[in-house]
Amino acid sequence: MSKKELIDAIAAAADLSKEKAGVALEAMIKHIESTLSREQEVAIPPLGKFKISKRKARIGRNPATKQEIRIPASNVPRFQPSKSLKDAVNRRS
């Protein structure tokens, strides 16, 4: 599903204009980004949790030159689906 299709679905389900649904989706995305940038978790109960995992610094290798390079530590956003979402995805019809 594309972002446009998601906006259309939100607009139809919530009886909103596509413009208002798009603004609401953008606000939600910005809020999740902002919260994760502060290394805080975002929980959306029927869906799951967005959180940050810390990746340690490590030594990698440039595949073209075979030269070792230092890869710095970084934060990586992760999504942990809820049990109900996992069950819904695995439900057979």
Expressed as residue numbers, the domain containing 67 is: 41-93
Give the total number of structural domains in the chain.
Answer: 2
93 confidence band (pLDDT: 50, 70, 90): low
Instruction: Report the C-alpha gap between 83 and 48 in whole angstroms.
Output: 8
What confidence tens digit (pLDDT) does each residue in 42-75 have? 999 999 999 999 999 999 999 999 999 999 999 9
pLDDT in tens, 22-35: 999 999 999 999 99
22: DSSP letter? H
* Secondary element (H or E) of residue 18: helix 18-37
* Residue 30 exposure: Cα atoms within 13 Å on the Cβ side: 6
Do 32 and 58 share a domain, yes or no?
Answer: no
Report the CATH number that the domain containing residue 50 is assigned in CATH: 4.10.520.10
For residue 24, what are the contacts with CB-CB under 8 A and spacing of at least 6? 10, 16
Number of residues assigned to the chain: 93
CA distance 8 to 24: 12
Report pLDDT for 18: 97
Nearest to 50, CA basis, from 39, 61, 58: 39
